[in-house]
């Protein structure tokens, strides 16, 4: 009799727990029906001025209009992107805290011994937004006009050159380290909290060289304030026809880009994720906005949740393997 009563109580507890979960799910969907009812925050895990920040502010402005709501971009830089990504991962999954991040999202699992998020479980992918080639930059005052010149200077003066990157483990940083390994040269890496500060460092002469994503560098290349020696994309950039690719210069498979992805905390209502995905893709495919992003240095992808999920699945092991081959030990 006691056993039967215990089993009955257990079944009741299970039913109660299941009912609570169901009620919570219904409540989330109900909240989604009137979404958004208050301002939406998009976390960018880097300092202002970098490619992810530029993408977030352009998309955020138009997404706010499309949703008849308000979008606020919040920069939470530090830890190579881990701080901001971790904050977003543990935010309430109600659609009011979102994340726009870069390739750091898929690089960091192989670069750090411990990170504050699980790239496969802690987020619901919304959209794969765009990608940008990385670019090798020098200050024109340096008198270096080609990759060959840069290599010759580095070999002649091993302790002279340092290079800025948007941070430890970013694709520009890894491209810089790969460049050093392939050419057997020395340059001191100076990491910053994002592409914006890295660009300011080379503009101000703090560093002589920089590896960065194209968007924040593009206006300074166009003005002549910075000189681009090469891009790391598969082809030359459309309005930088005189800047060669690394592949053209004889570096087989030296292709490195920085992507921007849009994610929500896991368990965010599916209806909210679907709405954000559809609106974002429609915005990115608008000719005027697509042209603006292209002129800013982005190749628009405008892929939905599945595209973003595939990139995560493919690139986490890819970058872990590259980091291991480069001899970079997790920190």
pLDDT number for residue 32: 57
For 162-174, letters b (16+ CB in 10 Å) and e give bbbbbbbbbbbbb
Give which of 18, 71, 31, 67 is closest to 270, Cα–Cα: 31
Tell me the HSE value of 89 on the side-chain side, using a 13 A CA sphere: 17
| pLDDT tens-digit map of 250-296 | 998 898 899 999 999 999 999 999 999 999 999 999 999 999 999 99
pTM of the predicted model as reported, rounded to 2 decimal places: 0.83
pLDDT number for residue 51: 92
d(CA 179, CA 137): 13
| pLDDT tens-digit map of 99-126 | 999 999 999 999 999 999 999 999 999 9
For 247-263, letters b (16+ CB in 10 Å) and e give beeebeebbbbbbbbbb
d(CA 313, CA 59): 24
Average pLDDT over residues 193-206: 94
Domains, the chain, ordered by start: 32-125+266-325 (3.40.190.150), 133-231 (3.40.190.10)
172 phi and psi, to 5 degrees? -60, -40
pLDDT number for residue 20: 44
Average pLDDT over residues 182-207: 94
Tell me the HSE value of 165 on the side-chain side, using a 13 A CA sphere: 22
Q: How many helices (H) and strands (E) does the chain have?
A: 11, 10
How does the average pLDDT of the chain come out, rounded?
90
**Measured in Å, how far apart are the chain's first and last C-alpha atoms?**
58
d(CA 178, CA 296): 26
State yes or no: pLDDT of 235 exceeds 70.
Answer: yes
d(CA 126, CA 104): 17
**CA of 273: how far to CAs of 93, 111, 140, 262, in Å?**
10, 29, 46, 10
d(CA 115, CA 79): 9
State yes or no: pLDDT of 132 exceeds 60.
Answer: yes
pLDDT number for residue 328: 83
Average pLDDT over residues 21-39: 62
In which band, very low, low, confident or very high, does the pLDDT at 23 lie, cut at 50, 70 and 90?
very low
| pLDDT tens-digit map of 300-313 | 999 999 999 999 99
| Selected residue with higher pLDDT from 265 and 20 | 265
């Amino acid at each position: 009799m006691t056993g039967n009563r215990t089993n009955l109580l257990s079944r009741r507890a299970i039913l109660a727990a299941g009912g609570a979960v169901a009620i919570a799910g219904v409540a989330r969907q109900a909240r989604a029906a009137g979404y958004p009812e208050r301002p939406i925050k998009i976390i960018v895990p880097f300092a202002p001025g970098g490619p992810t920040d530029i993408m977030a502010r352009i998309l955020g402005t138009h997404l706010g209009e499309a949703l008849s709501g308000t979008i606020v971009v919040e920069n939470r830089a530090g830890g190579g992107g881990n701080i901001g990504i971790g904050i977003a991962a543990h935010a309430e999954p109600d659609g009011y805290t979102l994340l726009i991040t870069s390739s750091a999202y898929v690089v960091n699992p192989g670069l750090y011994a411990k990170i504050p998020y699980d790239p496969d479980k802690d987020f619901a992918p919304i959209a794969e937004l765009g990608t940008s080639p990385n670019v090798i930059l020098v200050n024109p005052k340096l008198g270096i006009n080609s990759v060959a010149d840069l290599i010759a200077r580095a070999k002649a003066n091993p302790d002279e050159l340092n290079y800025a990157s948007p941070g430890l483990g970013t694709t520009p940083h890894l491209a810089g380290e790969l460049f050093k390994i392939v050419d057997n040269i020395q340059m001191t890496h100076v990491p910053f909290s994002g592409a914006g500060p890295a660009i300011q460092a080379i503009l101000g002469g703090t560093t002589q060289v920089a590896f960065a994503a194209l968007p924040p560098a593009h206006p300074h290349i166009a003005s002549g304030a910075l000189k681009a020696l090469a891009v790391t994309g598969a082809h030359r950039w459309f309005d930088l026809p005189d800047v060669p690719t690394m592949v053209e210069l004889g570096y087989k498979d030296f292709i490195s880009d920085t992507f921007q992805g849009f994610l929500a905390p896991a368990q965010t209502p599916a209806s909210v994720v679907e709405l954000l995905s559809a609106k974002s893709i429609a915005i990115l495919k608008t000719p005027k906005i697509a042209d603006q992003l292209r002129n800013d240095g982005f190749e628009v992808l405008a892929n939905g949740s599945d595209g973003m999920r595939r990139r995560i699945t493919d690139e986490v092991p890819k970058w872990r393997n590259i980091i291991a081959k480069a001899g970079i030990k997790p920190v």
